[in-house]
Amino acid sequence: MAAKKAEQALVSRWRSILVRHALVQCELDRALHGHGLCGSDFEGLDVLAGSPDEDGRGSRGYRVQRISERVHLSRSALSRLVARPAREGLAERAMCPEDRRGVRVALTPEGRTRHGAALTVRRAVLHRLLSG
């Protein structure tokens, strides 16, 4: 009986986490809509914005494989996450110079601008919903 109650409590906590995540994600989607982004679009830009400056000319981005390690999406969802910003001129794709089988994705200047503007929106939403 005690084991069943403990399991029910664990499941209840898990469901509470899922509800909180869904609420925050929906609010982020609404708030970021004014910047032409949804929450997952922003997360993709945010990962790219944190990529290293490997050559002194600004961010060279990440290999798609490295992005997948950071955003934890299926292969098809990751493809869409990379394709959307590229279509909108927010990111650019290029072959990896070190391994021509790979693809590297980097923010464009417009992508950096859009990310910067949306960053304050995301910060405000997270602060309002999660800081207390």
> Any idea what the CATH number is for the domain that residue 105 is in?
1.10.10.10
Range of the domain at 74: 2-130
Per the CB < 8 A criterion, the answer to whether 48 and 59 are in contact is yes
pLDDT computed for residue 54 by the predictor: 45
3-state secondary structure of 123: helix
Reading phi first (left if > 0) and then psi (alpha if -120 to 50, else beta), residue 122 is in: alpha
Residue 114 pLDDT more than 90? Answer: yes
The pTM score is 0.78
- Write the burial class of residue 28 (CB in 10 Å: 0-12 exposed, 13-18 middle, 19+ buried): buried
Q: What is the pLDDT of residues 72-109, one digit of tens each?
A: 777 788 888 888 889 999 999 888 777 777 788 889 99
What's the number of domains the chain is made of?
A: 1
Name which residue leads in pLDDT, 111 or 73: 111
pLDDT for position 56: 44
Q: Does the pLDDT of residue 9 top 70, yes or no?
A: yes
pLDDT tens string 11-64: 999 999 999 999 999 999 999 999 999 988 898 899 888 876 544 444 567 777
Beta-strand relationship, 91-95 and 103-107: antiparallel
- Give how far the C-alpha of residue 77 lies from the chain's centroid of Cα atoms, to the nearest Å: 12
